[in-house]
Structure 1
Amino acid sequence: MIEYERIHHVSLAVRDLEKAKKFYSELLHFQEIERPPFKSNGVWYAIGNQQLHLLEHPKGEALRMSGIDSVDGHFALWVKSYRNTIQWLEHIGVPYEARPQSVAGFAQIYILDVDNNIIEFDAVYDS
């Protein structure tokens, strides 16, 4: 039997690495970490004890073309404050879909990155 410890990383395809880095580094303030010298273009970020890997698709392709769909593939981050997260997204001009009273039992906020990858922020509702 496999004994799982934790998720190590999530990888997302991006069309343009520089645009993606601007979104994740400058707008969301993700912490960039060292990436091994792979032949592909990419960037790695630390998110607590886990990592997000962005990989520039060599043909400029990404998987998603449409808007927010929480049934589609996405990654979720638990944040300290629902209210502060909403305020930050509004401040930086990133559109979002808020679900403060989600049936999940906690508040959810969904955004799209520059390649339509879905990011979910989860928190205790603190209006």
Structure 2
Amino acid sequence: MEITDLHHLALPCSDLERSRRFYREILGLTEIPRPALPVAGAWFRVGVSKELHLVVGDAQATFRASKGMDTNDIHFALRVASYRQALEALKAQGYREDTGPDDPMGIRTSMRIGYPQIYILDLDRNVIEINAARAD
């Protein structure tokens, strides 16, 4: 088997309209057409050729529930052109640095692997890493 690329990432969500707003307004992703499927959801374009699929979860879905920020937990990473602009955009949306791990609007930053990283939670407490090639 030769894997050539990562096509999409699927995340459970509990409230589709709330999650759609988050991914459009906070992260600035573009919603793309989605085929008629037996479960509610929304698809978003990430970069040029990647996709993020939101799927409305039921009682069997895997949610992080009340877990706080844990950067070592399951997460996905988005690469941005400007670390500084990403941090400023998140702060303009109400995110805050240096808060406790249970703050849903908290930002955790790191340089531990050689490039700048920002970690936030979405509305279902999925961990999102936003990183850049370098600090600017």
TM-score (norm 2): 0.85
Partner of 1:88: 89
- Matched position secondary structure for 1:6: coil
Q: Which runs of 5+ in 1 are unaligned?
A: none
CA distance in 2, matches of 1:112, 1:55: 17
Contact 1:74–1:120 (8 Å) recurs in 2: yes
Matches within 5 A, 1:18-57: 18-48=17-47, 49-57=49-57
How far is 1:5 from its partner?
0.9
Distance verdict in 2 for CA 1:60–1:18, change over 3 Å = farther
How far is 1:4 from its partner?
1.1
Runs of 4+ in structure 1 over 3 Å off:
59-62
Is 1:119 matched up with 2:128?
yes
Partner of 1:68: 69
CA distance in 2, matches of 1:62, 1:28: 22
CA distance in 2, matches of 1:103, 1:44: 32
How many percent identity over aligned positions?
Answer: 39
1:2-59 CA distance string (max 9 Å, x none): 1111100011011111110111112221100011100100000000211000001134
